A and B are shown apart, each in its own frame.
Chain A
């Protein structure tokens, strides 16, 4: 996805909104399955979480903070600076939003609870329950909600700037 063009600010915020929504979905899925002991793969449900990666325009990453041309060093106050040239705007990297690179299963072991009457209890009377901590999911949910709101604010700010620019 090319990141030039006037609507790229909106696309960047939209990628953040999407990422947080996916995170919210994963949390809902975890909470809904907090006590699920049977899955298609056998065994209890395993906690799922999303992994975020910073999106980038691959060709440009190395150009950040780089300058071209000679850079004159001034060693005295009265020297005139010879500044280096900067890369032209189109070649510069400024990030490309966020991407959800994968949805992964948590490798933590299942919680063992003693409940001999449960149909899925093992011979010692222990049931393997999903490795989900409800408190952890709730705090993650609050964080995802707030991050989503922050992206909404950024989106609205960019939108209002574009609307202002139309009035020039």
Chain B
């Protein structure tokens, strides 16, 4: 991306939205996988970790070390571009479904929550793009 692109798109809002859209999509797969395996004996449910890392990355009270060389170790909070949703397998030996640790009600609730979060991020991103567009065209933001 050129200088102008950096200025227009690399503010905080859009990168955060894009990262959370990514995380929601991954989470939808992981939940689908848990649901598909609800009757598989010995299956261990997976989980997506994202929000905590995002919160840390956005916390401006924390110091951020700048790396100017490939061999530098990153210290302090990460850039938003460097955070990624992670799939984890929580240690949870309960037998919520009778044959494994998938609690179907929990998964359904998370599925609904995830879908709403995704829709929210889409709407928010639509708004952000609309603003950029109206600035480029020097016109007021059109009503939705």
Q: List residues of chain A with CB under 8 Å of any chain B CB.
A: 3, 6, 8-9, 12-13, 15-16, 19-20, 23, 52-54, 64-65, 70, 72, 80-83, 86, 89, 92-98, 143-144, 146-147, 150-151, 153-155, 157-158, 160-161, 164-165, 167-168
Contact = CB atoms under 8 A, between A and B. Distances in A.
A146 to B, nearest CB: 8
Given A81-B76, A161-B25, 9 more contacts: A64-B87, A72-B73, A82-B73, A86-B84, A98-B37, A98-B40, A150-B38, A151-B36, A161-B119
A160 B104 CA distance: 20
A68 B108 CA distance: 33
B122 interface: yes
A16 B30 contact: no
Contacts of B21: 165
Given A16-B37, A80-B63, A158 B32 contact: yes
Nearest to B83: A86
A92 B26 CA distance: 11
Given A52-B41, A53-B40, A157-B112, A97 B33 contact: yes
A157 B110 CA distance: 11
Mostly, the B contact residues are helix
A12 B118 CA distance: 19
Q: Lowest 10 A-B CB distances belong to which pairs?
A: A16-B36, A95-B33, A52-B40, A12-B32, A9-B29, A154-B32, A98-B36, A80-B75, A94-B87, A154-B35
A164 B88 CA distance: 27
B35 A16 contact: yes
Interface of B: 21, 24-26, 28-43, 46, 63, 65, 73-76, 78, 84, 86-89, 104, 107-108, 111-112, 114-115, 118-119, 122, 125-126, 129
A53 B88 CA distance: 19
A60 B93 CA distance: 23
Given A52-B40, A160-B115, A161-B118, A86 B86 contact: yes
A147 B73 contact: no
Contacts of A23: 39
Nearest to A60: B87
B33 A83 contact: no
Contacts of B24: 161
Nearest to B34: A95
